[in-house]
Amino acid sequence: MAQKFRALLDLCKRRGFLFQSAEIHGGLRGAYDYGPLGVELKKNISQSWWRRNVYFRDNVVGIDTSIVTPHNVLKASGHVDEFTDALVDCLLTKERFRPDKAPEIEFKQDKGVSSGKIVIRSPDKETAKVWEKQIQTELAPGALITRQAKELLLHVKHLKSSSYGGPAGSIELETISGESLSVPYHGYVEPSTNSPFLTDERPFNLMFKTFLDPIDPIDRVIKTTIDTKTSDLKVVREQVDNILRPSTVYLRPETAQGVFINFNQIMRTMKTKLPFGIAQVGKSFRNEIRLEHAIFRTPEFEQLELEFFTSPWESPAWFDYWRKDRLAWWLEHANNKADFRTRDHEQNEMAHYAKGCMDVEYQYPWGWGEVEGVANRGCFDLTQHMNATGENFEVLEDSPKASSLLKDTTLVNDIPSEPTRFVPTVIESSCGLNRALLAYLCDAFHQVQEPGKEPRTVLKLHPRFAPVKCAVMPLTGSTDFKPYVEKVARSLRRQGLYTVIESQKLRIGKRYYRHDEIGTPFCITIDHQTLQDQTVTIRDRDTTEQHRININDVTSIVNNKIWADEAPEID
């Protein structure tokens, strides 16, 4: 699976889906640029999401809020004080990682049985020698270690385990002198090396902080630190933060807060009534501790978010509705539907205010990973901003009842019997566009083995997602074909279908294969018969079948094939 994923990433770079950002300057870790095909694929996924959640509905509107977010907004939402991950450093590798995502300790297996030796994997023999010396002199002085090529084996007498977040355990090691030596064990190890030699956990704020100020605030910081009479670093830090606070802003860590603070504006300008939703597509930023799997986890990412506002008594029913509807969208565009699943969060996984949460997950080459979350956030967000600003987000329901938009009202309960005021409950659907793109690329990536030939790649993207919808190909370079090529390409482009003219001096079969590799669902060939009877050949990417059709029918046939299975209405 890892080899297949590397082949996919090679294809992405070679054919213009994905590039390392600033590669000619050495690159920027975790940052990627989307090439001509990547930007089309991302746009197509985003547009499908928008059509499904906004254009197909009467009760959802869109918004686009500022990326630069004031301190007060994120203070009210809890992000300034609580948007943190635990951070741990490995004393051997210097790698940082999240302990809640780290594996438990691994022992060397001998014929399927644990040997009682912890295996630490180094990248090469020289590093193994350096680590052996560091362990025996600094981290576990005198520890008995067996070095086998790139691996170090720590001899263990006893392991007192610990679960993440619980009391610390310990590892009792054997020493060269025969005595015992105890080192801490917190229930996890550095993921890539299995090293248990770690720092204590410490909080790590995930937000990017910057300053909106015409005057460089660093001068004020310098003056404050010089004038401060104390050597207490905590006091100095508080004074510096107070000086900087008026100009402190953040790159938003999520798009949702921009929606919540505009709730009353939307209600007033769009004359909306509950239940209704506000959709947004936009960039968010998180100073991630561990970046992994290309674009799966990056500091800059794009979100497709919907905040759906409803009454408290209808919220269980709408939560159930959105769980089903969002999974249906993922499955609608998938080749291998079994590679998508839903997973309900355990109580200890959810935020303290959440009433329920479900993830849509995709089985990536490295395992299951979240691509979307659907959560019942209660009225927490609106209440927080009400308390911080004095703005009133309460809604008056004169005649409380179940919404006519709900097909199944069995989950609607505790409907008030008289007019009532309440702060709306929020059902949130939050999808990572970058992860969606990666999931659908993995889902579409097929390597076809034909007898006597090298394997070739077919990217079986759903036609609505395919970056290039049609390739128009003149059989030869004859100028006689040019008017027909231009006519077909122009008619497709006027329908908003990204179409390319493929006139390279290659055999027509090789040109077909080039477009199979980037996921082009249809190829239109102009040949000598076209000159005689105004027909062309249309080739299907997935079946490789070819049919003759009238040149004037190309656009309608292609359109029908692309949009045929799109959900005609929302149930």
Each domain of the chain, given as residue ranges in start order, spans 2-63+291-303+312-441, 89-203, 208-250, 468-563
Q: For residue 85, name the pLDDT band (cuts at 50, 70, 90).
A: confident
| Sign of the C-alpha dihedral computed for residues 459, 461, 465 and 469 taken in this order | positive
DSSP letters spanning 45-90: HHHHHHIIIIIT-SSEEE----SEEEHHHHHHHTHHHH-EEEEEEB
More confident residue, 569 or 552: 552
Q: For residue 111, name the pLDDT band (cuts at 50, 70, 90).
A: low
The residue behind tokens 């269980």 is 316
**Mean per-residue pLDDT for 414-440?**
96
pLDDT of residue 3: 86
The residues, any chain, with a CB within 8 Å of residue 67's CB and separated by 6 or more, are 251, 252, 282, 283, 285
149: left (phi over 0), alpha (psi -120 to 50) or beta: left
Q: What are 513-542's pLDDT values in tens digits?
A: 999 999 999 999 999 999 999 999 999 999
Q: For residue 449, name the pLDDT band (cuts at 50, 70, 90).
A: confident
Chain centroid, CA 224 distance in Å: 41
What is the overall mean pLDDT for the chain?
91
Q: Which two tokens stand for residue 335?
A: 């080749």
Q: In what order do the strands lie in the sheet with 340-344?
A: 60-62, 276-285, 300-310, 425-432, 367-378, 356-364, 340-344
Task: Provide the percentage of residues in the chain whose pLDDT is more than 70.
Answer: 96
Taking alpha carbons only, the member of 419, 463, 408 closest to residue 440 is 463
Give the torsion through C-alpha atoms of 50, 51, 54, 55, to 10 deg: 150
Residue 483: which H helix or E strand, with range?
helix 482-493
Out of 96-105, 301-310, 368-377, 482-491, least confident range:
96-105
Give the span between the Cα atoms of 517 and 514, in whole angstroms.
Answer: 5
CATH of 2-63+291-303+312-441, one of 3.20.20.70, 3.40.50.720, 3.30.70.1530, 3.30.930.10: 3.30.930.10
Number of H helices, E strands in the chain: 16, 30
pLDDT of residue 243: 80
Phi, psi for 167 (deg, rounded to 5): -65, 150
pLDDT of residue 116: 83
3-state helix, strand, coil split of the chain in percent (to 5) is 35, 30, 35
Amino acid, single-letter form, for residue 40: E
pLDDT of residue 32: 94
Q: For residue 115, name the pLDDT band (cuts at 50, 70, 90).
A: low
pLDDT of residue 186: 85
The answer to whether 2-63+291-303+312-441 and 468-563 have equal CATH topology is no
Q: What are 387-411's pLDDT values in tens digits?
A: 999 999 999 999 898 888 888 888 9
CATH architecture observed for domain 468-563: 3-Layer(aba) Sandwich (3.40)
With a cut of 90, say whether residue 268 has pLDDT above it.
Answer: yes
Q: What are 158-180's pLDDT values in tens digits?
A: 887 655 454 568 899 998 988 88
Q: Which two tokens stand for residue 113?
A: 């049985």
Give the span between the Cα atoms of 279 and 57, in whole angstroms.
Answer: 12
Cα end-to-end span (Å), the chain:
38
With a cut of 70, say whether residue 113 has pLDDT above it.
Answer: no
Q: For residue 300, name the pLDDT band (cuts at 50, 70, 90).
A: very high
pLDDT of residue 43: 98
Cβ(283)–Cβ(300) below 8 Å? yes
More confident residue, 277 or 238: 277
b (16+ CB within 10 A) / e for 412-439: beeeeeeebebbbbbbbbbbbbbbbbbb
- Three-state secondary-structure class, residue 560: helix
| Sign of the C-alpha dihedral computed for residues 348, 352, 356 and 361 taken in this order | negative
**Mean per-residue pLDDT for 212-216?**
81
